[in-house]
Structure 1
Amino acid sequence: MKEFIVAVVAAVFGLAGTVVGAALSARAAKNGAVLSAQATLQQVRDQATVDQAHWLRQQRLQAYEGFLAAWDECLRLIDSVGLPGDSEASGTNPLKEAAGRMTERARRIDILGPTEVSRAAEELADSIRRDVSIATKLKELTEAKLPSATEHITNGTAPAMAAATEALEEANRQMQELVAEANESGQLLHENPRTTEMFERFERAQEIADAAIARAHRDGDGFSAFLEQATVIVNELQRNQEARACTRERFTTAARHTLASANPPTS
């Protein structure tokens, strides 16, 4: 009986050991599977991060290149067509349209980031839009004021000055003739009956000259007022163009840094 009990106990312990061993093996297998799954998942995540970074870099590269192409188009139009780039024949404004494309591409950069690049891009787009706005203001001023100022000078001041010059030259010529006659005849100048008429002619010529000079001052003041207004606008345009040189450099530097980074910033 005792031997039977011992045998049963031994069998039970043997079975328990087998069960425990199997359980430990199963747990070890499970842990190994979990670790393997985690490693695989991490690899997938790492690859996804790399792929996302590559995709983002390519998207940014395309956006930056597109933006700079629009920028170059604006500069080409400024150099070749001038500001504000109107074409009266077609009723279009090429520079304004190019500035619009530049603004659209700046918005795409704003989506892709990073902030430093998108901010510089928006400032450059704003600068071109200000060019269009300022130059349009100059054009409107020129169209409104220059023809009138030029017409006054061309049709008013210039003929008046020419008439005054002619009157003075004619009066002077006749006076010289009168003096020559008096010298030849030995007659005193004031005794010549034509002397009074001659001085009256001089006075009329002087009045014509004074009126022409007064008109020249008036017309000149009008033209000067136009020039002063135009100068203010031109100076504003020059300051805007000078300021964006620094912005362009900031955009280029930030874009290069972003594209060269192994892990480009996302915002």
Structure 2
Amino acid sequence: MDQGLAAYYVGIGAFIGTLITAAVSYLAARHSANIAAKASAEQVANQATVERAQWIRQEQRQAYGDVIRAYSQLAHTLARLRVAIHDEAPTGELLDSIDVQQSLLHVACYNTRLFGPPVIADIVKPLAEAGREDAQAHRELGMHSMAGGSPQLAEIQGKVNASRREMGRAFTAFTDAASTVLLGGTEEAVEIRRRAGLER
């Protein structure tokens, strides 16, 4: 009977050991599952953050590219107008297209505010304003040239030269800031470059 009782106790001990092992395994598996779920949720959140940042950068690149294209088109038309005036060629169509292209530059500059950073909006405002002033100065030059010249023509030419320089300076400040943003620079770095551009 001692052997039977001993076997009975060994069986009960084995059963209790199995229950304890099962309980510990369950708790360990549950803990591992919780850790895996948290890690997975964190990974998804991080991936969403990265994808959002990539999307914003893509939209910034598009918006900044629109500004560059609009600036280039306006600058090209203004240059064609100066050549036409010099060659005493008709300027009516060019004067009409200046208004459209200046508006496109203004809209492109305004749209940069959608994707930031805010310092870009501050930097692009002078470009939009310089584009407007340069277009206006060129319109005046075109009108006075069409009228056969005037005593104010030299003064207007001076305004055109000044507005061209200002538009070029504003464009350079914008492209410096935009490249800093697109290459991963911080908003502080953009601000430093903006200040440096203003001091030129």
Q: Is the 8 A contact 1:127 1:244 kept in 2?
A: yes
Partner of 2:182: 259
Q: Is the 8 A contact 1:120 1:248 kept in 2?
A: no
Partner of 1:108: 111
For CA contacts below 8 A with separation 6 or more, give which structure has more relative contact order. Answer: 1
Partner of 1:39: 39
Residues 173-214 of structure 1, C-alpha deviation per residue, up to 9 Å, x if partnerless? xxxxxxxxxxxxxxxxxxxxxxxxxxxxxxxxxxxxxxxxxx
If you compute each CA radius of gyration, which structure gives the higher value, 1 or 2? 1
- CA distance in 1 between counterparts of 2:82 and 2:94 reads 16
Distance 1:82 1:94, change over 3 A: farther
- Among 125, 134, 151, the alignment partner of 1:131 is 134
Distance 1:132 1:249, change over 3 A: closer
- CA distance in 2 between counterparts of 1:259 and 1:91 reads 34
Normalising by structure 2, we get a TM-score of 0.68
Q: Please tell me the residue identity of whatever aligns with 1:78.
A: L
Q: Is 2:29 aligned against 1:65? A: no
Q: Please tell me the residue identity of whatever aligns with 1:43.
A: Q
Structure 1's unaligned 5+ residue stretches are: 1-10, 151-225
- CA distance in 2 between counterparts of 1:87 and 1:231 reads 19
Residues 149-176 of structure 1, C-alpha deviation per residue, up to 9 Å, x if partnerless? x8xxxxxxxxxxxxxxxxxxxxxxxxxx
Equivalent position SS for 2:82: coil
Distance 1:264 1:112, change over 3 A: farther
- CA distance in 1 between counterparts of 2:186 and 2:31 reads 36
State the identity as a percent: 22
- CA distance in 1 between counterparts of 2:124 and 2:117 reads 11
- Among 70, 95, 98, the alignment partner of 2:98 is 95
Q: Please tell me the residue identity of whatever aligns with 1:134.
A: A
Distance 1:143 1:245, change over 3 A: closer
Partner of 2:3: none
Partner of 2:168: 245
Normalising by structure 1, we get a TM-score of 0.53
Cα RMSD after superposing both structures: 3.7
Structure 2's unaligned 5+ residue stretches are: 1-11, 188-200
Residues 29-54 of structure 1, C-alpha deviation per residue, up to 9 Å, x if partnerless? 33322211110011111111221121
Q: Is the 8 A contact 2:81 2:95 kept in 1?
A: no
Q: How many Å apart are 1:120 and its aligned residue? A: 2.4
Distance 1:38 1:248, change over 3 A: same
